[in-house]
Structure 1
Amino acid sequence: MINTRYESRLAMLRDAMARSELDLVALGPSSHMRWLTGVDPHGDERPVLVLVSAEGAAFLMPEMNAEAARKGTDLPFFVWSDGDGPSDALDAALSSLVKRRSDVSIAVDETMRTDFSYLLTGLFDNPRITFTESTVGALRQRKDPEERAALSKSAKINDAAIMAGFDALREGVTEAEIVDTIYDEMKKQGARPGFCQVAFGANAAMPHHHSGNTPLEVNTPVLIDAGCWWENYPSDMTRTGVFGQPSAEFLAAFDAVEAAVQAAITTFRPGITGREMDHAARVSLTEAGHGNAFLHRLGHGLGLDIHEPPYLASSSSDTLQEGSVFSIEPGVYYPGRFGIRLEDIVHVHNGELEILSSLSRSLIRRG
């Protein structure tokens, strides 16, 4: 029998479809499908879809994947073989779900392969196509208690892993060796390593630096950005420290980045846009003389995907509502000198921001 969690999500999706006047939602093998149904089929060139209408829901599923996928759901399957191809099975699935093939409004999974979407939309006359921002995308932004608990546990494991990295700093150690230390701690805690950026000195001036064999020298800033996975939910956090003594210039910039974090947090109110949050942090850094060194958006949502809506950027109209989980991560980057970023993941709970990490943002000093 289908898990009641997914029954509830299907019901919420149909309510959202009615509000958006949508006849059909079509999802490919993606985090959208996993969130809605719990099914996470192998994704390749063989079309896999879950189709949802007001009348029902069904899977288009390759024969070779059907047995494994059926273990996770009792939604009906329309199975196709490599010998026959997917067209007839897809046509039958649509006939069971929609009453007409013209003047139909369809929300297509924006992460789905283009050939999958063309296969689907080609069976309709002049369909009105949109994406899932008002349906699955909007619903995924409101994290339920189970999701919040997994995200919180992932954050706590990540806290310990990042501190293990800072504790392993010593003269001559390489960025790559600190990455290994952090990954080892994640595994020790039962999590799956996700990503890790360790940047010494001027390397931190590249926001997406790839950690390598740079050795650590005394009096060097250190930036660590890492995340792991716990029960399919990620963490993501950045802390900046120093091995030895920091320069006055570095300390002033560090304080400015922390002030930008505080500006964003204090600006928050339920329903605020990502643009407004980004603006608050950007104004703070500009007033401190670092505005031109803030090279990226303030933050991104976090859930089944490590980057998902809502986005906190100067171009974003996404709203931050009860249940939203997102990063606040201002930074400044000075090529050839240093980079500083401070990142926390926050959860909107009872109208306020709750930080999932327990690790202070204060400058971490070692050496």
Structure 2
Amino acid sequence: MATTAQPVPPPFTAHDYRGRMERVVADAVAVGLDGGVLVTPGPDLVWLTGYQPTAITERLTLLLLSPNREPTLLAPRLERPDVEAAAGAAALTIYDWTDGSDPYAAAGEFLDPVGRYGISDSAWAMHLLGLQALLPATRYRAMTQCLPMLRAVKDDAELARLAAAGAAADSTFLEVVKLRFAGRPETEVAADLAGLLREFGHEQVDFTVVGSGPNGANPHHEAGERVIQVGDSVVLDFGGLMNGYGSDTTRTVSVGEPSAELVRVHGIVREAQQAAFEAVRPGLPCQEIDRVARAVITAAGYGDQFIHRTGHGIGVTTHEPPYIVEGEQQLLLPGMCFSIEPGIYLSGRFGVRIEDIVTVTTEGGLRLNTTDHGLAVVS
């Protein structure tokens, strides 16, 4: 199989990272975080600075973004050269600490002893407890709770990366359906998906769900040794990171000619997915997209078999805010990207799911996955 190399986008610049940091500080002030935000290794730190430790260890690494001082990053001294090489380092005041010294005391040199902070969801509990022990008057809120839209609205460069990742996932699907399914274990098809994602440019594969027959009724089924049979439906859900940004798409295929019931259920899910997509527009609460998809499935008599939210955000991770679920009143904004993935799951029999990544535009929604939603027949 010949693949076409995807052009590598230009890297983000120090200017890009500084703009993100400034936006986060403004958002923190707006929600009453007078101390600012504390960012530990994980997706937030990568997005804000371009710095990702080679391994997330027990050593404290902490970025402070505060209205009261310039961006400040504390890191272990042995990792300082890597920090200084990061694209966003020009915007940072860098502190370091050495093994054998107290990293929390080092952090206390630039933290407000009575400040209110947002802190990364990925922060280690021992680090948060260490900061609280040093500065007992400080207060902390989880980042998803206080700044849920931190990374939700993408700029043009981010959207281009997401579009390229989506196109690579689409190419993966178009190739995998050419392969034989019947008589092979799910794990072999999952390996095909992973290999194709990498051939089309992904540097990281996060998941390859292959749910055949009754296994398709488990939305997060791990591919196993079940041998796929003629007459099965197979849920294929796969994605990962390409140029640092995520892909995630699902299609359901039939091994041989589908039964009338599978055709009917697939048609309902397809209608629900399309209706939810058509509802996307700026200013609409996230929960309304979930309600639209759910209404179609419920009206068809399968409401109890739609057992998960309609979607999740995507960016530098494959799951992030916003979440397309009942109770989420965050308004859709241009530049947000999320999945629309309704499904019906008939326990012990089969499942159907269709998923695209969608971005909000000023006029509505734009799909980043464009492969046919029809029920593909594979051999």
Report the TM-score range of the alignment, normalised by the length of the smaller protein. Answer: over 0.9
Contact 1:302–1:308 (CA under 8 A) maintained in structure 2: yes
The DSSP-based 3-state class of the residue aligned with 1:22 is coil
Alignment equivalent of 1:277, drawn from 276, 285, 289: 289
Q: CA deviation at 1:262?
A: 1.9
Moved more, 107-116 or 294-303: 107-116
Contact 1:20–1:134 (CA under 8 A) maintained in structure 2: no
Alpha-carbon distance in 1 for matches of 2:121, 2:363: 30
The DSSP-based 3-state class of the residue aligned with 1:326 is strand
Alpha-carbon distance in 2 for matches of 1:249, 1:255: 10
Alignment equivalent of 1:203, drawn from 208, 215, 222: 215
Alignment equivalent of 1:93, drawn from 101, 110, 121: 110
CA deviation vs aligned residue, 1:172-223 (integer Å, no higher than 9, x gap): 1221111122222222223222210112111101111111222222222121
Moved more, 132-141 or 254-263: 132-141
Alpha-carbon distance in 1 for matches of 2:116, 2:236: 46
Contact 1:16–1:134 (CA under 8 A) maintained in structure 2: no
Alpha-carbon distance in 2 for matches of 1:134, 1:14: 16
CA deviation vs aligned residue, 1:256-310 (integer Å, no higher than 9, x gap): 1011112212222312222221111111101011111101110000011111000
Please list, as runs of the form range in 1=range in 2, the aligned pairs for 1:167-206 lying within 5 A after superposition.
167-192=178-203, 193-206=205-218
Q: Partner amino acid for 1:149?
A: A
Contact 1:32–1:136 (CA under 8 A) maintained in structure 2: no
Q: CA deviation at 1:47?
A: 0.9
Does residue 263 of structure 2 align to residue 251 of structure 1? Answer: yes
Q: CA deviation at 1:349?
A: 1.7
- Flag the 1:134–1:270 CA change in 2: closer, same or farther, 3 A: farther
CA deviation vs aligned residue, 1:313-337 (integer Å, no higher than 9, x gap): 1232333211100000000011121
The DSSP-based 3-state class of the residue aligned with 1:289 is coil
Please list, as runs of the form range in 1=range in 2, the aligned pairs for 1:209-288 lying within 5 A after superposition.
209-288=221-300
Alpha-carbon distance in 1 for matches of 2:145, 2:209: 34
Alpha-carbon distance in 1 for matches of 2:105, 2:181: 64
Does residue 60 of structure 2 align to residue 47 of structure 1? Answer: yes
Does residue 313 of structure 2 align to residue 306 of structure 1? Answer: no
- Alignment partner, residue 151 of structure 1: 162
Q: CA deviation at 1:34?
A: 1.0
Please list, as runs of the form range in 1=range in 2, the aligned pairs for 1:314-353 lying within 5 A after superposition.
314-353=326-365
Contact 2:187–2:223 (CA under 8 A) maintained in structure 1: yes
The DSSP-based 3-state class of the residue aligned with 1:214 is coil
- Alignment partner, residue 61 of structure 1: 75
CA deviation vs aligned residue, 1:72-126 (integer Å, no higher than 9, x gap): 11312211111212133212232xxx4xx23x22112222111212222334353
- Alignment partner, residue 33 of structure 2: 22
Q: Partner amino acid for 1:62?
A: P
Alpha-carbon distance in 1 for matches of 2:196, 2:61: 37
- Alignment partner, residue 128 of structure 1: 139
The DSSP-based 3-state class of the residue aligned with 2:317 is coil
Q: CA deviation at 1:141?
A: 0.5
Alpha-carbon distance in 1 for matches of 2:360, 2:43: 22
Q: CA deviation at 1:32?
A: 0.8
Q: CA deviation at 1:21?
A: 2.7
Alignment equivalent of 1:290, drawn from 302, 315, 329: 302
Alpha-carbon distance in 2 for matches of 1:91, 1:361: 55
The DSSP-based 3-state class of the residue aligned with 1:153 is helix
Structure 1 portions without partners, runs of 5+: none
Q: Partner amino acid for 1:191?
A: H
Alpha-carbon distance in 2 for matches of 1:106, 1:43: 22
Alpha-carbon distance in 2 for matches of 1:26, 1:83: 23
- When the two structures are aligned, how many residues end up with a matched partner? 360
- Alignment partner, residue 7 of structure 2: none
TM-score (norm 1): 0.93
Contact 1:309–1:318 (CA under 8 A) maintained in structure 2: no
Contact 1:204–1:223 (CA under 8 A) maintained in structure 2: yes
Q: CA deviation at 1:37?
A: 1.2
The DSSP-based 3-state class of the residue aligned with 1:310 is strand
Structure 2 portions without partners, runs of 5+: 1-12
Q: CA deviation at 1:356?
A: 0.3
TM-score (norm 2): 0.90
